Structure 1
Amino acid sequence: MRIGVLTAGGDCPGLNAVIRSVVHRAVTNFGDEVVGFEDGYAGLLEGRFRTLDLDGVSGILARGGTILGSSRLQRDRLREACENAQDMAREFGIDVLIPIGGEGTLTAARMLSDSGGLPVVGVPKTIDNDISGTDRTFGFDTAVGVATEAMDRLKTTAESHQRVMVVEVMGRHAGWIALESGMAAGAHGICLPERPFDPADLVAMVEERFARGKKFAVICVAEGAHPAEGTMDYGHGAIDKFGHERFQGIGTALAFELERRLGKEAKPVILGHIQRGGTPTAYDRVLATRFGWHAVEAAHRGEFGRMTALRGTEIEMVPLADATAELKTVPKDRMDEAESVF
């Protein structure tokens, strides 16, 4: 069998671990040939690929990013890929494609699979943990650890200067990183996309803390969080060419608003892409490795149009449609568990 593999969308700790696992399982156990398409679906459309052997994936298990590169594909080019899927499979000699990516990547994978021109087995990844059908995605554990450590560090400097620190973490439409890192770091307020917040509640919380002799506060806010209507001047951003909203910087806006209302210094800290980079945690390396192993197994069983998924402690194969039907957002019961820190 000749297996094609690609990584698309935002990079994520653990991508290289999946690539390594696919190559090891395919080459060592089945005698397959593996080729890697460069820069995601763009490489597939443009025929840019290279052979991946055991030497080619040596030493990449703990490496961040992706050795294949990544990119996002505009919708018209995605349609082009679907229309030419059969020709590309024949031209490159690909028996199955293993795309590794998030909601957009897996939507493209489903479209390719539905076109009937190219067998597909998907592997879900996202630091946001927002893909339906799987309990956990690799990269999330690493991102939560980075955000937690950042807030742990910020507490000491915030206390030294009697400041309010507003820490913005990733999470466009799902607040899993903000929820879990905020809880782990003991943040004094958490703002999620799933629940509009009122700045007045945060002001009251900070004032109550200072009245008790506490001289600092840390508030964790997801990039997609937004204030309740009429509570704060904050608008919606434009839509980019990939269909994503350009957020206006809620961390900075909220810090400015709190400083204005409190009369105390409030500083925004935008963690940004630092959450995506660097060495994956042990948990993410193991999960990514298991996903790669099971993707190859599924390819040999002919389980196309499906993706790997963590269900409890087991890896199962679920339809790609399950991953793209809706985003997995933070449910009310999880917010209720953390209510004391909202």
Structure 2
Amino acid sequence: MHIGVLTGGGDCSGLNALLRGLVLNLVERHGLRVSGVRQGFLGLLEDRVEPLSPERVRGQLLEGGSLLGCHNKANPFAYFGAGGADCSERVLACAQRHGLDALVVVGGDGTMSIAERIHRLGVPVLGLPKTIDNDLMHNERSLGFDSAVEVVSQALRRLKTTAASHGRVLLLEAMGRTAGWLALEGGLAGGADLIVLPELGFEEAELLQRCQALLARQGHAVVCVAEGAASVEALRPRLQAGLGEGVELRSLVLGHLQRGGEPTPFDRVLGSRLGVMGAEAVVARRFGQLLSWQGQGCEFRPLADVVGQPRLVPPGHELVRTAQGLGAVLARG
């Protein structure tokens, strides 16, 4: 059996640990042939397929990014390189030309949406979960999320000392356009005074009041904002006007710092487990499914049940209640 593997969407920490576990097991344990598809689905559209050997992945456990490269714009069903036309026939032709019997696709909701459609066109697909937003439905923990939480947490811890030293209000923007998991867990781990999530909403008047109360009580405030709740750059001048000229307010957008770098031990282990369990799923021909991570182990979910419905932070989630118990979370109403 000849297996193609690609990493779709944006990069994250832990992808190479996954590729290492997947390739070593498919080739050395099960005797299968593996090819890597460069830059996600773009590699299938532009025929960028190359052999992927155990030697190529063996030393990759600690490396960030993806040795195959990533691309978050190359949708074969609306390809930017062809004016938005449906070029999915190129994907089928590429798979046939290289003799690919199946694809292992690593990614988040957008990647899995494409993978599910490709599977319906006749190319067997197994999905493996990766997204720093942690918003893939029926999947409790996505690869790369823990490493991104550590980046947000460390940034908040560093900002806390500066805020306290200068008596400032500091706004930190974390990724999460739809779901606020990263801001929530990163905010809790980093000791943010306030956390703003897109699922809960917030009133700017309340944010101003809470910042003023924090300034009065401790002399500073650090706020972690999910990008889907508000842009800190847009929020800063309005909040500054309410605080007055006597209070220094600064903002920071972490951006792609949350994606790169060495994976945490958790993501190195999770990537290894997903790679090895993914190899076993390929051998068992569990195609058309996502190998999701739930609780303390893996389970399978049909790709059709996963896509198009992001996993949001429930208002009554235990982590939200934890933040509320600490007086840190803002919610409209």
TM-score when normalising by structure 1: 0.89
Question: Could you tell me how far 1:82 is from its partner in structure 2?
Answer: 3.5
Which stretches of structure 1, 4 residues or longer, exceed 6 Å deviation after superposition? none
**Contact 1:83 1:115 survives alignment (8 Å):** no
CA distance in 2 between partners of 1:318 and 1:81 (Å): 27
C-alpha distance after superposition, 1:226-265 (max 9, x if no partner): 4xxxxxxxxxxxxxxxxxxxxxxx1112222221101111
The letter for the 2-side match of 1:222 is A
What percent of counterpart residues are identical?
A: 44
CA distance in 2: counterparts of 1:159 and 1:34, whole angstroms: 53
Q: Residue 316 of structure 2: SS of its match in structure 1?
A: helix
Q: Who is 1:98 aligned against?
A: 104
Alignment deviations for residues 249-295 of structure 1 (CA, whole Å, 9 cap, x no partner): x1112222221101111100111100000000011111111111122
Q: Which of 141, 151, 155 in structure 1 is aligned with 2:156?
A: 151
Please list every run of 5 or more consecutive structure 1 residues that lacks an aligned counterpart in the other structure.
227-249
The Cα offsets for residues 298-321 of structure 1, whole Å up to 9 and x where unpaired, read as 111121101111121111121111
- 2:58, 2:286 → 1: CA distance? 28
Residues 81 and 112, structure 1, Cα contact 8 Å, conserved in 2: no
Partners in 1 of 2:300 and 2:194 — Cα distance?
Answer: 38
The answer (yes or no) to whether the contact 2:45–2:91 under 8 Å persists in 1 is no
- One of 297, 314, 328 as aligned partner of 1:341: 328
Aligned partners of 1:163, 1:175: CA distance in 2, in Å?
25
Cα 1:3/1:9, change in 2 over 3 Å: same
Greater mean alpha carbon deviation, residues 39-48 or residues 70-79: 70-79
Following TM superposition, by how much is the alpha carbon of 1:184 offset from its aligned partner in structure 2, in angstroms? Answer: 1.5
On the 8 A contact 2:236/2:249 being kept in 1, the answer is yes
Q: Which residue is 1:219 aligned to?
A: 223
Superimposed CA distance per residue, residues 124-166 of structure 1 (whole angstroms, 9 cap, x where no aligned partner): 1000000001111011100011100111011111111110000
* Matched AA of 1:90: Q
* TM-score, normalised by the number of residues in structure 2: 0.92
CA distance, structure 2, for counterparts of residue 4 and residue 223 of structure 1? 34
The corresponding residue for 1:140 is 145
Give 3-state SS (helix, strand or coil) of 1:332's partner: coil
CA–CA separation in structure 2 for the residues paired with 1:81 and 1:323: 24
**C-alpha separation in 2, matches of 1:336 and 1:198:** 19
Q: Indicate if the aligned counterparts of 2:6 and 2:106 stay in contact, CA closer than 8 A.
A: yes
Cα distance, 1:84 vs structure 2: 4.6
Deviates further, 66-75 or 121-130: 66-75
Residue matched to 2:287:
304
Deviations 1:151-195 (A, max 9, x none): 101111111111000000100100001111111222111111112
The one-letter amino acid of 1:278's match is G
Q: CA RMSD in A?
A: 1.5
Tell me how far apart the structure 2 counterparts of residues 203 and 311 of structure 1 sit (CA, whole Å).
38
- What is the letter of the counterpart of residue 194 of structure 2? G
The correspondence of residues 33-44 of structure 1 with structure 2, limited to 5 A, is: 33-44=33-44
CA distance in 2, matches of 1:324, 1:300: 24
Gaps of 5+ in 2: none
